Amino acid sequence: MDELHSLDPRRQELLEARTSVGTKGLTNNECSNHSFGSLGSLSDKESEVKFLFSVRGPKISDYFDVSIGLLPCVCWIHVKWQIFCLSAVRNFYFVTDLTVLKLAALESTKNLDLEKKEGRIDDLLRANCDLRRQIDEQQKLLEKYKERLNKCITMSKKLLIEKSNQEKQTCREKSMQDRLRLGHFTTVRHGASFTEQWTDGYAFQNLVKQQEWINQQREDIERQRKLLAKRKPPTSSSSQTPTTNSEPKQRKTKAVNGAETEYHEQEEIFKLRLGHLKKEEAEIQAELERLERVRNLHIRELKRINNEDSSQFKDHPTLNERYLLLHLLGRGGFSEVYKAFDLIEQRYAAVKIHQLNKNWREEKKENYHKHACREYRIHKELDHPRIVKLYDYFSLDTDTFCTVMEYCEGNDLDFYLKQHKLMSEKEARSIVMQIINALKYLNEIKPPIIHYDLKPGNILLVDGTACGEIKITDFGLSKIMDDDNYGVDGMDLTSQGAGTYWYLPPECFVVGKEPPKISNKVDVWSVGVIFFQCLYGRKVRGSWIVLK
């Protein structure tokens, strides 16, 4: 037995091949059945072993051509093999009995785990169903809220359009009334062309008539004063002549004194009348200046209405499915600025619509678009309370694109100065302090930025007065002072000739072989010119020298 156990597995296979094929097959089948069959008693297995010994297969001589002398050896090996198989079967059933106990315990454990897992799966399925039901409910609720939101947006659009139409109608009615009072444009033919000529209204005509009447009264008074001066009586010292009769002398003295008194009375009346006329003339002049300011507003409104009526965006379109255009704020060379309402953020905004000329060459269109994109990239990164915020940028078609900016209710500083000429030192100082604060921010960010086009037209008064907040806008000509372009002496001015001449320093006009160098001092110069204009109501005289 020990020898059989010590045999190498390959040798065992060789012995198995030399034994009966039937015995081998039966033994294998039995082992296979015992490995995977049902559990039985040990007596049953012993009977199966007896059956194993009783079964004999074909003789070995049937498979091998051997001599008769080897038969005892083969029989001995066959007996040894049967003893080995019996021992193996007994050991197998002993091991199998131990494993079955473990398998039973393992099976019970697995069954418990399986029940727990099935219970957990059921719980998860129920939770999943609950979550799906909640998701469906939330989805329905979301759809309901979306529907409500769309209704609110639709109603908001409707109300905003109605309000805008009412404001437009009111502006046009007021404009028609002011046409008679302040004046209007009339078309006049000059040869083969037609030009628009301004005609004053009855308010200016009445003031002109009053001024003419005052001038006529002044001329009459001056003429009467000259005539009175010719009739001026002689003084008492010059009228004293030697006379012999005292009574006629007294009568003559009384007559002279009466004429002199009348002269002085009349002279005083003429002076009072001239003073009164001067006062009336001052009032007329003040009223004329006030009407001129109102007329400027009226002319501006007439131009705005005319531009709005000729615009293709006058019928309240919604751009980019978000911005509802309300009315036109202003119009430039190639752009229009509309007051709009952001339907998503629920706030007012200023939408600047850039329209390229369709007759331009593609190269010119590309340059204009590149310039606008550059302004957008610069302006988008700026975040300061004294700088107008840029919200969005999008294209409508190949020739039209839009920029969305912060909306300011008031006008710009240029319009304010045209209306009021100048302002107090405190108001001017407040405006300059806010501008300097914004310039400080532009020079502290990386890379620093030169605005290059600071002027009253690019300074917005938030509430339209000089005593409130201001915001800087229009970064179309701004320069980026990066390391590649900015050196110790400054950066090259590649856009010489651009900008507003009145507010640029002398170095921007230097003509030479190389472009002039500029720095952030350009904006400092512009602030000084703006400060001077706010205080004195006119531009710096040195600007004339620069222009020459």
Q: What is the pLDDT along the chain (548 residues), one digit of tens a residue?
A: 444 445 556 556 655 655 544 444 444 444 444 443 444 444 444 444 444 444 444 444 444 444 444 445 555 666 667 676 666 655 555 455 557 778 888 888 888 888 889 889 999 999 999 999 999 999 999 999 999 999 999 999 999 999 999 999 999 999 998 888 888 888 888 777 888 888 888 999 999 999 999 999 999 988 888 888 887 777 655 444 444 455 565 555 655 566 778 878 888 888 899 899 999 999 999 999 899 989 988 998 999 999 999 999 999 999 999 999 999 998 877 789 999 999 999 999 999 998 887 788 888 878 777 777 877 888 888 999 999 999 998 888 888 889 999 999 888 999 999 888 889 999 999 999 999 999 999 989 888 888 888 999 899 999 888 889 999 998 877 888 765 556 555 655 655 556 677 888 777 766 667 667 777 888 899 999 999 999 998 887 654 444 44
- 471 in a labelled binding site: no
Shared domain for 9 and 124, answered yes or no, is yes
Is residue 170 in a domain? Answer: no
Shared domain for 290 and 346, answered yes or no, is no
Is residue 289 in a domain? Answer: yes
Is residue 291 in a domain? Answer: yes
Catalytic residue among 178, 392, 412, 453, which?
453
Is residue 532 in a domain? Answer: yes
The residues that bridge with 400 in the sheet, in sequence order, are 355, 397
Sequence length of the chain is 548
Residue in the structure block whose two tokens are 């002109």:
208
The residues that bridge with 395 in the sheet, in sequence order, are 401
Is residue 239 in a domain? Answer: no
Shared domain for 298 and 322, answered yes or no, is no
Shared domain for 36 and 108, answered yes or no, is yes
For 449, counting Cβ atoms within 10 Å of its Cβ (0-12 exposed, 13-18 middle, 19+ buried), the class is buried
Residue 243 makes CB contacts below 8 A (sequence gap 6+) with 249
In the annotation, is 523 catalytic? no
SS3 464: coil
DSSP state letters, 392-436: EEEEEETTEEEEEEE--SS-BHHHHHHHHS---HHHHHHHHHHHH
Other beta carbons within 10 angstroms of residue 545's beta carbon come to 9
CA distances to 1, 52, 75, 163 from 20, in Å: 20, 12, 11, 110
Number of independent structural domains in the chain: 4
Residue 344 makes CB contacts below 8 A (sequence gap 6+) with 322
Is residue 243 in a domain? Answer: no
Shared domain for 40 and 83, answered yes or no, is yes
Is residue 113 in a domain? Answer: yes
Domain boundary among 105, 137, 158: 158
Domain boundary among 406, 429, 454: 406
Nearest by Cα to 344 from 164, 162, 158, 152: 152
Query: Rounded to an integer, what distance in angstroms lies between the CA atom of residue 475 and that of residue 375?
Result: 6
User: CA neighbours within 13 Å on the CB side: how many for 284?
Assistant: 19
Shared domain for 334 and 379, answered yes or no, is yes
Q: What is the pTM of this model?
A: 0.66
Is residue 465 in a domain? Answer: yes
Whether the CB-CB separation of 529 and 503 falls below 8 Å is answered with yes
Provide the domain limits for residue 16: 2-158
Shared domain for 35 and 152, answered yes or no, is yes
Shared domain for 13 and 87, answered yes or no, is yes
Tokens linked to 133: 């039901």
Shared domain for 66 and 133, answered yes or no, is yes
Nearest by Cα to 413 from 292, 290, 503: 503
Shared domain for 425 and 500, answered yes or no, is yes
Pairing outcome for strands 400-406 and 347-355: antiparallel
Tokens linked to 374: 């550059």
Nearest by Cα to 448 from 489, 491, 496, 500: 491
Residue in the structure block whose two tokens are 């914004």:
438
Query: Rounded to an integer, what distance in angstroms lies between the CA atom of residue 182 and that of residue 187?
Result: 17
Shared domain for 332 and 301, answered yes or no, is no
**How much helix, strand and coil, in percent to the nearest 5, is found in the chain?**
60, 15, 25
Shared domain for 135 and 280, answered yes or no, is no
Domain boundary among 406, 427, 446: 406
